[in-house]
């Protein structure tokens, strides 16, 4: 439980990290991308939610409407914001890698390596390929969760299932940037989070909270990248281990 709390507090430390010297300029593009897509998600959700509720709520369950309506509302909100988060991270992934590198440099005191054009192209290719892998990984879990969301009575648990999955996926999503900068592949990122499961879930839960708060969710992406970077640095330091790889980018 203590590790979960540490992960949760890691998340909110991201606010201070993105304001540090040399970091702010790497926040601008991910911030613009996140604002644009989350504003679109909020507009889409507000225009469609009533139609979905009336379409998917069976008439014979009207007597349970007081219970099902809030749960359905929360589930649809989770699905929409989770989907738009995937899109935002795909577009912003190269910029998030630069942001993670600069935050790590501030935390460790090790100056990030300046990139040549060839290295920038390789970094962009790696981050985009990693994002695509994460999308397929998420789809594998989203399909059964989506089906669960529309099974009467059983779908009462769907908001909790979606919340748990979102926390886990957010941990994978954002820790991939600092770990990927050190040459770690997605399978290794998953293994890292399994080894630090409770701290990762704490971090993911904190990110989930940020993405659920209107207007705060606009800045959630760069905050999450910075927070995940801090978590990877701190877990390595607590074990007195060197950070894996020697390929910082920035």
Span 198-247, pLDDT tens digits: 999 999 999 989 887 877 877 888 999 999 999 999 998 876 655 555 44
**What Rg value do the Cα atoms of the chain yield, rounded?**
19
- The per-residue pLDDT for 248 is 41
CB neighbourhood size of 216 (10 A) = 13
Q: How far is CA 35 from CA 41, 76, 243, in A?
A: 10, 20, 32
- The per-residue pLDDT for 243 is 58
- The per-residue pLDDT for 160 is 85
pLDDT tens sequence across 32-49: 887 887 777 777 767 766
Average model confidence (pLDDT) for the chain?
A: 79
Structure tokens at 143: 């399909």
- The per-residue pLDDT for 32 is 85
Structure tokens at 28: 């601008």
Cα 40 to chain center, whole Å?
18
Exposure of 203 by Cβ count < 10 A (0-12 exposed, 13-18 middle, 19+ buried)? buried
- The per-residue pLDDT for 247 is 42
Bridge partner list, 249: 113
- The per-residue pLDDT for 81 is 66
Distance CA 128, CA 104 (A): 21
Q: Which residues of the chain, if any, have pLDDT below 50?
A: 246-250
């Amino acid at each position: 439980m203590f590790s979960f709390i540490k992960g949760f507090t890691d998340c909110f430390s991201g606010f201070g990290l993105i304001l540090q010297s040399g970091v702010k300029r790497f926040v601008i593009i991910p911030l613009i991308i996140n604002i644009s897509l989350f504003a679109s998600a909020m507009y889409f959700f507000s225009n469609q939610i009533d139609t979905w509720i009336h379409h998917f709520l069976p008439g014979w369950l009207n007597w349970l409407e007081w219970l099902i309506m809030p749960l359905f509302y929360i589930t649809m909100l989770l699905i929409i914001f989770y989907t738009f988060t995937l899109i935002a991270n795909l577009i912003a992934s190269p910029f998030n890698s630069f942001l993670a590198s600069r935050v790590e440099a501030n935390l460790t005191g090790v100056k990030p390596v300046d990139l040549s054009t060839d290295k920038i192209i390789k970094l962009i290719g790696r981050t985009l390929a990693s994002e695509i892998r994460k999308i397929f990984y998420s789809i594998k879990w989203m399909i059964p969760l989506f089906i669960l969301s529309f099974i009467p009575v059983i779908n009462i648990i769907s908001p909790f299932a979606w919340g748990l999955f979102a926390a886990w996926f957010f941990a994978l999503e954002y820790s991939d940037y600092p770990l990927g900068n050190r040459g770690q592949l997605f399978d290794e990122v998953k293994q890292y989070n399994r080894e630090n499961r409770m701290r990762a879930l704490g971090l993911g839960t904190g990110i989930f909270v940020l993405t659920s708060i209107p207007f705060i969710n606009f800045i959630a992406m760069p905050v999450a990248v910075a927070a995940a970077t801090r978590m990877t640095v701190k877990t390595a330091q607590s074990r007195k281990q060197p950070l894996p790889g020697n390929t910082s980018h920035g």
